[in-house]
Chain A
Amino acid sequence: MSEQQKKASAYWKENVKYLFILLAIWFIVSYGAGILFKDALDTIRLGGFKLGFWFAQQGSIYVFVVLIFVYVRLMNKLDKKYGYDE
């Protein structure tokens, strides 16, 4: 493997690691909090909201937005680290 290829595959590994972490959070807030554990979370209240219901109709969406911006930041940093930024 050439130097170039080694760099590319190290970059890709870190990229995939980020994706795993971000998508794990994605799964937890929507499928976890909003569906699978909804009934349990509903016993907790957030103002007028039952917590599970809140995650399903509000919370998960807020987290999604944050996830993409975190991803943008992480990837910009990663691009710089490997010299792929423009």
Chain B
Amino acid sequence: MSVQIWTYILVGITFSIYIGIAIWSRAGSTKEFYVAGGGVSPLANGMATAADWMSAASFISMAGIIAFAGYDGSVYLMGWTGGYVLLALLLAPYLRKFGKFTVPDFIGDRYYSKTARLVAVLCALLVSFTYVAGQMQGVGLVFSRFLEVDMTTGVIIGMVIVLFYAVLGGMKGITYTQVAQYCVLIFAFMVPAIFISFQMTGNPIPQLGMGSTLSDGSGIFLLDKLDGLSTELGFDEYTSGSKSMIDVFAITLALMVGTAGLPHVIVRFFTVKRVKDARKSAGWALLLIAILYTAAPAVSVFARTNMIDTVNNKPYAEMPEWFSKWEITGLIAFEDKNGDGKIQYVADKSKNELNVNRDIMVLANPEIANLPAWVIALVAAGGLAAALSTAAGLLLVISSSVSHDLIKKVFKPDISDKGELWAARGAATVAVVIAGYFGINPPGFVAAVVALAFGLAAASFFPAIVLGIFYKKMNKEGAIAGMVIGITLMLFYMLKFKFGIFDGGKEAVEGLKDSWWFGISPEGFGSVAMLVNFIVSIAIMKFTPEPPETVQKIVEDIRIPNNAGEAIEH
């Protein structure tokens, strides 16, 4: 059977499962819609969190980025998993004890201020929209390559599916669909990884295969071979990378605190019964995430080595079928600069003849390694599972931010439970349509905005939440000043060094690299903005009145784990 038929079968089966679950678990109240009724088991919540957390970026792009960045790609591995530790230790248990539905709820109540709540709502919406557009693009990519429909149709199919189970099921539907999606995506990621690892090194465990010797009998370690190939072609040594140490440090930190502040993941901890369960499900989630995150760098090594071996100095006419298929999508491009009919893949830009979009490494990897058709189709189903699960989680944050934090808490406090539920569904629908639009017509700055979103979350949410829990005397003046100055500084740095708007536009960006503050790139600057936020918050707090007694009581209360109750309506 061909890859395409297999893909139709596997995608068809998985989609029917998701829809079946959505119908079986549709939400009847706002509580079921926002927090799945609050009775999800730690393991199920761990699986759902893992699926929520691992987006199209983790599944499709990350291994590809690392394959081309080598050691520099470690920032994503450490950043996205290390941020999880911060989330589990510093935020999740206390936010669960606090027991409201959303992150702006916490900020608004803890800092007894509507302004703080609104700032938090805006940040949550900005972060979530940026992300969800990226997921939709991932869906479109998979559809257009594997089912050979065009990108627009692909995105629309994805939108309809997500809309169906997010709008109908709310958090309850999403949670149980995400459990299924985790199983699909991890299976889809690991099967080809195991196949290729065994093929290349004779060791079926990719995490170990990465550090093993090649199975061609040469006795050379795989990583040594790749280091050799990279330097031979003029690239940096794979295991060394090219970024400065301070920049790697800053980017890792920005990604860690940025991810810890992601609202769609935080909200998952409101779905379990007790604080104890919130802690435990964080453990399960990271364990389940780590399976993919430790296999991904191995996949990167396999893919990069395989790709160089397959294409470099080989005649263009003899390229396998996958090469021309990806050429159609425009994600691989070959230009025969020296006219010898062979592909030269080298670091020197004037001589390099091959451009490979790094997003396709994971999707193309099984084909490059000549794996059976069903494995290739499985990867397509996995990529869709990863993108849809994250998109659904984000849509929920968007809809609850609008229906709960804006409509119920600010504009129309007397809205009925039923009315709020319909407002949530309406908001989710509008959000899907907007996200789909950006998925089909991605603004040129998507990648830049995603980096900005991490920086913003790092510069705003993280200090406000941590201080809110660990510093009883932190008051609204300090927190708001910290958030506003943190965000402004981050925006300024981004606009200056990423978009070059103060120095004549995009063309100026390269030349500005030398004037980066402390040698830190815009991607890493979130960590500096976060520090500034902390300092400003504490300094302002010293000169302004203490928070009211009732608020200090709330802080004392969230530090004690028992009697968490259910996520309360209020």
A binds B: yes
- Among B167-175, B264-272, B276-284, B474-482, the stretch that binds chain A is B276-284
**Quick one: which of B41-77 are within 8 Å of A by CB?**
66, 71, 73-74, 77
What is A's interface to B at a CB cutoff of 8 Å?
Answer: 5, 8, 11-12, 15-16, 19, 22-23, 26, 30-31, 34-36, 38, 42, 46-50, 53-54, 56-58, 60-62, 64-65, 67-69, 71-72, 75-76, 79, 84-86
B109 interfacial by beta-carbon distance below 8 Å? no
User: Is the contact region of chain B dominated by helix, strand, or loop, or is it mixed?
Assistant: helix
Name the contact of B562 in the complex, choosing from A16, A69, A75, A79 (C-beta under 8 A): A79
Judging by beta carbons under 8 Å apart, are A35 and B252 in contact?
A: yes
Residues of B within 8 A of A62 (CB): 290, 294
Candidate in A19, A64, A71, A79 with the most chain B CB atoms within 10 angstroms? A64
Given the complex of chains A and B, what is the CA–CA distance between A19 and B556 in angstroms? 17
Q: What would be 8 A-B contacts, judged by CB atoms less than 8 Å apart?
A: A35-B249, A35-B252, A48-B210, A60-B78, A68-B85, A68-B88, A69-B283, A85-B276
- The CA of A83 and the CA of B249, in the complex, are separated in Å by 41
The reply to whether A54 and B562 form a contact with Cβ atoms under 8 Å apart is no
Instruction: Identify B286's interface contact among A5, A57, A68, CB under 8 A.
Output: A68
Q: Contacts A46-B211, A50-B239, A53-B71 known; A71 to B88 CB distance under 8 Å?
A: yes
Question: B207 to chain A: which residues have CB within 8 Å?
Answer: 58
Do the beta carbons of A42 and B239 come within 8 Å of each other? yes
Determine if B211 and A48 form an interchain contact, defined as CB atoms under 8 angstroms apart.
Answer: yes
Nearest CB in chain A to that of B562: its residue: A84
Collect the chain B residues with CB atoms within 8 Å of residue A38's CB. 71, 245
Which among B85, B223, B245, B282 is the interface contact of A48 at CB below 8 angstroms? B223
State whether the Cβ of B248 lies closer than 8 Å to any Cβ in chain A. Answer: yes
Q: Does B293 contact A (CB under 8 A)?
A: yes
**CB within 8 A of A58: which of B88, B282, B294?**
B294
Q: Are A54 and B211 in contact (CB under 8 A)?
A: yes
Q: What CA separation (Å) do A57 and B341 show in the bound complex? A: 38
Chain A residue numbers with a CB within 8 Å of B290 are 61-62, 64-65
User: For A84, what are the chain B residues with a Cβ–Cβ distance below 8 Å?
Assistant: 560-562
In Å, the complex CA distance between A12 and B471 comes to: 12
Which residues in chain B, 528-543, are within 8 Å of chain A measured between CB atoms?
none
Task: Verify if B305 is at the interface (C-beta below 8 Å from A).
Answer: no
Q: Mark B284-305, 1 if CB is under 8 A from A, else 0.
A: 0011001001100100000000
Q: Given A23-B89, A49-B223, check contact A64 B81 (CB 8 Å).
A: yes
Q: Take A34-B78, A79-B276, A86-B274 as given contacts and tell me if A15 and B85 are in contact as well, using a CB distance cutoff of 8 Å.
A: no
